[in-house]
Amino acid sequence: MANLKDTFKNIFHREKAEEDEDDIFFNSSEEAEEESDWELDDSEEGQLAVDVYHTPSEVIIRAPIAGVHPNEIDVTIKDDVVVIKGNRFSRDDFGIVDHLYKECHWGRFSRTIILPITVRSQKADALFRNGILTIRAPKSEDDQSPLVIAVEDDY
């Protein structure tokens, strides 16, 4: 009797898993739109992913930014703050009315990075090659360690 019960339980779970798969692959675009509330509207600003490295002498920032011309990217560096802004324009070459998947952000994007090290912004440079933005900024020689100040009691 236990084997028959286990058999029916396995069949039920298998059918439920197949229904879940069907829901994933065959749901309507309206249902998919409801399920993807996390997507950014093209009018919203997207955030850029970055990798930040440092060597004994410089800080290096890499950001993949496909589909953007270098003229569409602004990089600002001041002390320990790096700001990268840009705009990736969407081209509708296919006359698309409805998307099956929409994972790429088109429109404005930006990223503000606060570095743990002060850099010499006047000596920094940026290179855009094969869709990768690389920013190199030498570390400031007069980088000071944080100053710890004693708090006095004024009671």
Per-residue pLDDT averaged across 1-29, rounded? 62
Task: Kindly report, residue by residue over 55-101, the tens digit of the pLDDT.
Answer: 999 999 999 998 888 988 999 998 899 999 998 887 776 776 677 77
Task: Kindly report, residue by residue over 7-20, the tens digit of the pLDDT.
Answer: 666 666 676 666 66
* The pLDDT of residue 127: 92
d(CA 6, CA 62): 54
Model confidence pTM above 0.85 = no
Domain limits of the chain?
2-35, 46-138
Task: Kindly report, residue by residue over 41-62, the tens digit of the pLDDT.
Answer: 556 778 889 999 999 999 999 9
Per-residue pLDDT averaged across 14-35, rounded? 57
d(CA 16, CA 11): 9
Q: Distance from CA of residue 152 to its chain's centroid?
A: 44
Task: Kindly report, residue by residue over 114-134, the tens digit of the pLDDT.
Answer: 999 899 999 999 999 999 999
Q: What is the CATH number of domain 46-138?
A: 2.60.40.790
* The pLDDT of residue 137: 94
